Amino acid sequence: MSTQAFEQLLQAAFSSDADAARYLSPAERTAYTTFQQASRADLPFRFERVRLAVAMSLMKLLADLGDNEESRRVLDVLHRALKAKSVADIDATITKEAKLFERLYTNLYVNDDGEQLLNLFERTLDADTRPLMDEVIADALEVARELDFSSHEEDEDDSEA
């Protein structure tokens, strides 16, 4: 179920063909399967790739929900980190942009949906085992299916009037 939930989460977050093409290579789409098949030595790196893909999905949902520039910047950092060739390179990419992550929390007004996404993002970063990551993926998929993007669109329509 976890591979399927992972793939469905990616689909929910990157629903447009343009977004999927920009952010999801075949390696990202199959990150969970690759993680499941990884050797013991490669397991930490493959786990980090799953974590990054889940975190990217949550930032994409948050960016779409509130049209928030900070979450788009964090999404881009996560995307760059996903291209890294080792856990150390992933850490270096994230550490270099740590201030963006801090600003995400300090400069962001969020509604209940946004708050749920940020909670899931934190849980993603804290997850250090497969069962915990599977739980985050399942919860994120459930939240993604329930998000209401229309209230944001209505706010934009109101401000144009």
> For the chain, what are the domain ranges?
2-156
pLDDT tens over the chain, length 161 residues:
589 999 999 999 999 999 999 999 999 999 999 999 999 999 999 999 999 999 999 999 988 887 678 888 999 999 999 999 999 999 999 999 988 888 777 656 567 778 888 889 999 999 999 999 999 999 999 999 988 766 544 444 444 44
**What is the distance between the alpha carbons of residues 156 and 161, in angstroms, rounded to a whole number?**
9
Tokens of 83: 């291209």
Residues listed for the chain: 161
Rounded Cα–Cα distance for residues 108 and 114 (Å): 9
What tokens appear for 21 in the block? 């093409």
Q: Which of 33, 13, 8 is nearest to 23 (CA)?
A: 13
pLDDT at 102: 80
Instruction: Report how far residue 53's alpha carbon sits from residue 50's, in angstroms, rounded to the nearest whole number.
Output: 5
> Residue 42 has which token pair?
């490669």
- The CB-side HSE value for 98 (13 A sphere, CA atoms) comes to 4
Q: What are phi and psi of 135, to 5 degrees?
A: -65, -40
* Per-residue confidence (pLDDT) for residue 158, from 0 to 100: 45
Of 150, 76, 78, 73, which is closest to residue 111 (Cα–Cα)?
Answer: 150
The first and second tokens of residue 60, run together, are 């994409």
**pTM above threshold 0.75:** yes
